[in-house]
């Protein structure tokens, strides 16, 4: 049984006619009738009552259609989910960062990421460089992305522009706001 058979069956029932369903589906009426007959033969049950002016589901057909419609809705939802992951509407991202990055840089990056991609769940693991390298090689990691970070990638917290060392020397930090 193919998805095509199921879509054809629902089109016939929704349109009440093989002719109208064939027009909507852009197939010939004999080809549509043949596909429905194949489906009925495979299931061993007549699904449609063809005796009146309008084609209607039989009792068996109605039961089958109830399940089929649910399945079609799930398949459509699955296709939407795939597109959402593709366009970064949903999904998940796992990051491995070194303790230095975690301590000083990850906060602003996470903040920007979450505001840009609210539907993506983010999981961060702090690990040494050696552990990070091992994780990159691991088949469970799904691959690795290496990125070069620029000053513009960060939102700096307010920091005093002067910092005194014990010896009295001053360090002037650039204003990044």
pLDDT on residue 132: 65
Does residue 17 sit in the same domain as residue 59?
yes
pLDDT on residue 168: 44
Residue 167 placed within a domain: no
Instruction: Convert the pLDDT of each residue in 25-70 to its tens digit.
Output: 999 999 999 999 999 999 999 999 999 889 999 999 999 999 999 8
pLDDT on residue 113: 79
Does residue 44 sit in the same domain as residue 102?
no
**Which residue shows structure tokens 């929704």?**
14
Does residue 42 sit in the same domain as residue 95?
no
pLDDT on residue 131: 73
pLDDT on residue 36: 96
Instruction: Convert the pLDDT of each residue in 10-22 to its tens digit.
Output: 999 999 999 999 9
8 Å CB contact between 21 and 15? yes
pLDDT on residue 95: 73
Q: Which domain holds residue 113?
A: 91-155
Domain final residue pick, 84, 115, 140: 84
Does residue 20 sit in the same domain as residue 72?
yes
Of 163 and 85, more confident? 85
Can you tell me the distance from the alpha carbon of 45 to that of 42, in angstroms, rounded to the nearest whole number? 8
| pLDDT exceeds 90 at position 82 | no
Does residue 14 sit in the same domain as residue 80?
yes
Does residue 99 sit in the same domain as residue 35?
no
Does residue 115 sit in the same domain as residue 139?
yes
**Which residue shows structure tokens 């990051």?**
95
Share the mean pLDDT of the chain: 77
| pLDDT exceeds 70 at position 152 | no
| pLDDT exceeds 50 at position 167 | no
Q: Structure tokens of 160?
A: 């005093």
Instruction: Convert the pLDDT of each residue in 122-133 to its tens digit.
Output: 787 887 777 766
What is the helix, strand, coil percentage profile of the chain, to 5? 55, 15, 30
Domain final residue pick, 65, 84, 103: 84
8 Å CB contact between 43 and 64? yes
Does residue 46 sit in the same domain as residue 26?
yes
| pLDDT exceeds 60 at position 138 | yes
Sign of CA dihedral 154, 158, 161, 164: negative
State pTM to two decimals: 0.51
pLDDT on residue 160: 40
pLDDT on residue 157: 47
Residue 43 placed within a domain: yes
Contacts of 30 (CB under 8 A, 6+ apart): none
From the CB of residue 29, how many other CB atoms can be counted at a distance below 10 Å?
A: 15
Residue 9 placed within a domain: yes
């Amino acid at each position: 049984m193919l998805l095509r058979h199921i879509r054809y069956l629902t089109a016939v029932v929704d349109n009440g006619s093989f002719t109208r369903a064939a027009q909507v589906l852009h197939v010939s009426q004999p080809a549509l009738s043949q596909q429905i007959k194949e489906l009925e033969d495979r299931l061993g049950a007549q699904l449609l009552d063809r005796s009146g002016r309008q084609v209607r589901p039989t009792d068996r057909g109605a039961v089958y259609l109830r399940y089929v419609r649910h399945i079609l809705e799930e398949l459509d939802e699955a296709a939407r989910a795939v597109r959402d992951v593709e366009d970064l509407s949903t999904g998940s991202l796992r990051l491995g960062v070194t303790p230095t990055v975690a301590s000083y840089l990850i906060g602003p990056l996470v903040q920007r990421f979450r505001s840009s991609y609210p539907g993506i769940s983010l999981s961060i693991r702090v690990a040494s460089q050696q552990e990070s390298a091992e994780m990159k090689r691991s088949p469970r990691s799904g691959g690795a992305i290496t990125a070069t970070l620029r000053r513009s990638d960060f939102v700096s917290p307010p920091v005093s522009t002067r910092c005194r060392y014990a010896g009295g020397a001053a360090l002037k930090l650039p204003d990044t706001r």
